[in-house]
Chains A and B, each alone.
Chain A
Amino acid sequence: MSLSGFVLRNAFRNKRRLTLSVSSVAASLFLLVMLQVALRELTNPINDEGSSLRIIVRNKVSLAQPLPARQLQVLERIPGIVAVTPFTFYDGLYKGDEKFTSFAQFAVDPARTLLLITDAKVPREQLDAWLADRTSCILGQMTADRYGLKVGDRMRFTGQIYPCELDLRIAGIYHGTADDRNLMFHHKYLDESLGNPGTVGAWWVRAATVAEAPLVTDRINKAFANSSAEVRAESERAFVLGFVSMWANIKILIGGISIVVVFALLLVTVSTMSMAIRERFRELAILKAIGFRRRELFAFILAESFGLSMLGAILGAGGAWVLFHSIDITKLSHGLFLIFEVTPHMVGLAFSVAALLGFVAALAPMLTVARTSVVEGLRTLD
């Protein structure tokens, strides 16, 4: 038998308590990792080359304020812009969804949009069909799969922002973009449904090169400065992050829950370790009597506490990693979550928390052992 073997024997002496303690640590760390994954999903927008080239131009006052459609002519003349399309978030409730439709619908100019979503893969004949029929749309593969839709099917929406209903025919189904969930349809159709108000929600612009994108952003902002409809142009990524920044409370909430989880975990581990040491107080006194020094007893306690926490971390954080890597969460959530993955940083965080817990939980029992003399310990024997 070695000293490490002795520690293991002690750790496994009460298997039920060990199982429950490790399970609670594992479940808490699993939850912690999941919260981090969710936070990342909410706050980390897709960042590919296409999104670096694309620019969103919205009303400087507010995203809810429309922009005049006549701005298109000005935008087209700005150097560095290779494509521009109206880009209006329709926010319709799909027939069948009761409260929430998880995919976005955008009114765009189809011909212009094709220059913006070059990564989208759609059969040529489907694109031609979309261009030809202004009540048609193209739909992301994920959403099509989720609802079991195919080319030729019709989709009916009730506007949540705009007071109109739309009946769209699926002309094509695309895939290959970073987010294959969205639906795009003719802006003209929306205009007609609303009585041609002469406005758009925003502009979607593509810069010629990634290097030129910031310059283009600057030029757009300047072009409409001091006009009746000043704009705010920003990269697609910055736009999404700005959107997320409005969720500050959610971030605080998730952060708060994470802290509570860690604190609860600390209480569980401290309680477990205290119980484990309390019931072994006699034996620790005997060990002291036969020559074990404080540092060896500290090492036993620390090793056991650390081992318990780490085993929990392996099961919890490791379990989360295995689970989220082995299942297609995008498919399972019907496209609601796209980048639901456990990063090495999150696993590292969970293991760091576990290590800290292991250490902190060992402190109180170590202090008790240090304070108790051999005789005091032996007195508890008889």
Chain B
Amino acid sequence: MTDEPIVAIHELSKVYQQGDTKIIALDSITLDIAPAEFLVLMGPSGSGKSTLLHIIAGVDRPTSGEVHVQGKDITRLNESELADWRNHNVGFVFQTFNLIPVLTAYENVELPLLLTRLPGRERRRLVTTALELVGLADRMKHLPRQMSGGQEQRVAIARALVTDPSLIVADEPTGNLDSHSAQEVLGILQQLSREMRKTVILVTHDPKAAAYGSRQVHLEKGELTN
């Protein structure tokens, strides 16, 4: 890696307390992720890959250690600052799509922009561009239930992209898709990394999906194994 890392993780640990038992989800993880890298986090269930993804994305807090994203230690941000940071810097793609069922594809993509002060015309331009990028310009007025799983996930990717974040985190995005749709989605994520220089972090335990990444990191029992 020649560039300054966009994500720098140092001695990161996450411990859950269940009664008298301590469960170590992440154990002193140190990891750098370069800009425009397509990093794949792999590992069996309970290995801590989703926990690591959540901490990098600023939706969970570590027990100890530091997480610098674009030079900012996000573990020091308060709840409100973190929400604002996520809105500007992170795009989320989930396994179950998680689109708002009463909103059209266009409105779902527009949702993160409602928190900005962008004028309507600019919002329209960004939403249209994001939907064109995932090949769904003709599905703007469709509700999630009127689309296939693959199309829904592509709308979710457009929603993750629309604020132009530097980091896109995808937690098992192909888990609910057929192989053809999965390839489409992974292709888009790869394209985002290669052509738009987005840093993509993908959590999966599917080796075929992992093959789309530029680097693979394996976790087991909360520790990096390579």
Residues in chain A within 8 A of chain B (CB atoms): 1-3, 6, 9-10, 12-13, 282-283, 286-296, 373-375, 378, 381-382
Contact = CB atoms under 8 A, between A and B. Distances in A.
B83 interface: yes
B86 A291 contact: yes
A367 to B, nearest CB: 15
Contacts of A288: 59, 83
A290 B84 contact: no
Given A6-B114, A9-B102, A292-B83, A374 B96 contact: no
Nearest to B83: A293
Contact of B115 (A282, A289, A292, A294): A292
Interface of A is mostly: helix
A375 to B, nearest CB: 5
Interface string B180-207: 0000000000000000000000000000
Contacts, number: 76
Contacts of B79: 293-294
B217 interface: no
Contact of A381 (B84, B86, B87, B98): B98
Nearest to B54: A375
B101 A289 contact: no
B110 interface: yes
* 9 closest residue pairs by CB, A with B: A291-B87, A374-B59, A293-B83, A13-B102, A375-B60, A9-B102, A286-B98, A290-B112, A1-B107
Contacts of B92: 286, 289-290
A2 B118 CA distance: 12
Contact of A1 (B80, B83, B94, B110): B110
Given A291-B87, A375-B54, A2 B94 contact: no
Interface string B155-168: 00001000100000
B103 interface: yes
Contacts of A12: 102
> Majority SS of interface residues in chain B?
helix
B28 interface: no
Contacts of B60: 373-375
Given A291-B86, A378-B59, A282 B114 contact: no
A1 B95 contact: no
B115 A381 contact: no
Nearest to B57: A289
Contact of A293 (B54, B84, B95, B159): B84
Given A1-B103, A9-B103, A10-B102, A289 B59 contact: yes
A300 to B, nearest CB: 11
A294 B84 CA distance: 11
A290 B86 contact: yes
Interface residues on B, range: 20 to 34
Nearest to A13: B102
Given A283-B98, A381-B96, A382-B96, A289 B86 contact: yes
A282 B101 CA distance: 11
B5 to A, nearest CB: 23
Contacts of B103: 1, 6, 9
Contacts of B57: 289
B98 A293 contact: no
B15 interface: no
Contacts of B98: 282-283, 286, 381
Interface in B44-101: 54, 57, 59-60, 79-80, 83-84, 86-88, 92, 94-96, 98, 100-101
A382 B98 CA distance: 10
Nearest to B116: A291
A194 B95 CA distance: 95
A12 B101 CA distance: 12
B111 interface: yes
Given A10-B102, A375-B59, A291 B96 contact: no
Contact of A283 (B59, B83, B100): B100
A143 B88 CA distance: 76
Interface string B117-138: 0000000000000000000000
Contacts of A378: 54, 59, 94
Nearest to B86: A291
B102 A290 contact: no
B102 A1 contact: no
B142 to A, nearest CB: 15
Nearest to B84: A291
B114 A1 contact: yes
B110 to A, nearest CB: 6
A287 B114 CA distance: 11
Contacts of A6: 103, 107, 111, 114
Contacts of A9: 100, 102-103, 107
Nearest to A379: B50
Nearest to A12: B102
A262 B73 CA distance: 51
A290 B110 contact: no
A254 B110 CA distance: 51
Contact of B95 (A10, A294, A296, A381): A381
Contacts of A294: 79-80, 83
Given A286-B92, A289-B57, A291-B83, 11 more contacts: A1-B110, A6-B114, A9-B107, A13-B102, A289-B92, A290-B86, A294-B83, A374-B54, A374-B59, A378-B59, A382-B172
